[in-house]
Amino acid sequence: MLKREDIRIRDPYIVVHNDSYYMYATSGETTLSCYISRDLESWEPIGTVFEIPKNFWAYKDVWAAEVHKYKDKFYLFVSLLGHNGLRGTQIAVCDVPTGPFVPLVDRPVTPIDQSCIDGTLYVHENTPYILYSHDWPDNYVDEADAYVGEICAAELSNDLTQIVGKPWVLFGSNESPYSKGKCIDAFWEGKNIRRYGSDAPFVQKLSDGRLLLTWSPYFEGNYVVLKVISESGYIKGPWTHILPPLYDNNGGHAMFFDDLSGRRCMCLHAPEKSMLERAHIFEVAEKDNNFIVLKEIYT
């Protein structure tokens, strides 16, 4: 067994199933591993649950894995790097959360001619949607000569094999009040760039019917979790940026789940520093028409 603090992990994702917790972690350039726990603190490795097939559209960089239960099966959403030099979200399926997950099709579900990462599933009135980040290198440049990431959405077919219609942009990563005047200078894939990040969209419905979307940009040495609200309760919004950040201590890529005692929890990685990343879990709650962090738990 491993303690949570001993597991180096980026973009942690936790699934609750049959009185156990399953946490997914990149385990190499081409593979994804899973850990199982009963208490969110002690974890047992259960091996590889997904591997990029041979002669596939993608060949490395297994990033940002999520597993969603949909129509009695478990669906893996994972970002991969294609042979065309662009990233996309692959969807794979299995009857159980421990894999092996098998790709639905030999192509990304996100637009193949765009760089798309961090795909997530949200189902509204029995219609599935994918939300994802459209980011460097093929997104647009603003007046400050910085690449602007975009949070996008699209309707999915009921079998999750393809997008229905055209995707749309929910917002650009430079639109948040937190973003004003901020972007990062980065050396990315052999090129010096300035960019606004747009990682990790995740959507949940609040008790009053509104939708809360969290996402993570990286500004001036600080990775954060920001909030936007759809007052209408629909994916198409409109979306309103809400301050302060949900988390602003150099950690991000948040996801949310209900633990076995019924508490609403947020899981993210921190710090945003190579080799030091660990999964941190916080109790969160709705309060005074807002969504806040109450405390870190299981530390």
Angle made by CA atoms 232, 64, 96, in degrees to the nearest 5: 90
Give residue-wise pLDDT tens across range 44-97.
999 999 999 999 999 999 999 999 999 999 999 999 999 999 999 999 999 999
Chain mean pLDDT for the chain: 93
Q: Does pLDDT of 190 surpass 80?
A: no
The per-residue pLDDT for 195 is 76
The per-residue pLDDT for 111 is 97
Q: Does pLDDT of 187 surpass 90?
A: no
Q: Does pLDDT of 142 surpass 90?
A: no
The per-residue pLDDT for 49 is 97
Strand ranges of the sheet holding 239-247, from the earlier edge strand across to the other edge: 199-205, 211-216, 225-230, 239-247
Q: Does pLDDT of 214 surpass 90?
A: yes
The two structure tokens encoding residue 33 = 């591993």
Write phi, then psi, for 220 (nearest 5 degrees).
50, 50
The two structure tokens encoding residue 252 = 């991000």
The per-residue pLDDT for 140 is 72
Burial class of residue 287 in the structure, from the number of CB atoms within 10 Å of its CB (0-12 exposed, 13-18 middle, 19+ buried)? exposed
The two structure tokens encoding residue 109 = 């579900």
The per-residue pLDDT for 144 is 67
Give residue-wise pLDDT tens across range 56-67.
999 999 999 999
> Alpha-carbon distance 176 to 224, whole Å?
12
Write phi, then psi, for 178 (nearest 5 degrees).
-65, -25
Place of tokens 């002669």: 55
> Alpha-carbon distance 67 to 91, whole Å?
9
Give residue-wise pLDDT tens across range 228-243.
999 999 999 999 999 9
The per-residue pLDDT for 231 is 96
Give residue-wise pLDDT tens across range 263-286.
999 999 999 998 999 999 999 999
Angle made by CA atoms 13, 218, 163, in degrees to the nearest 5: 55
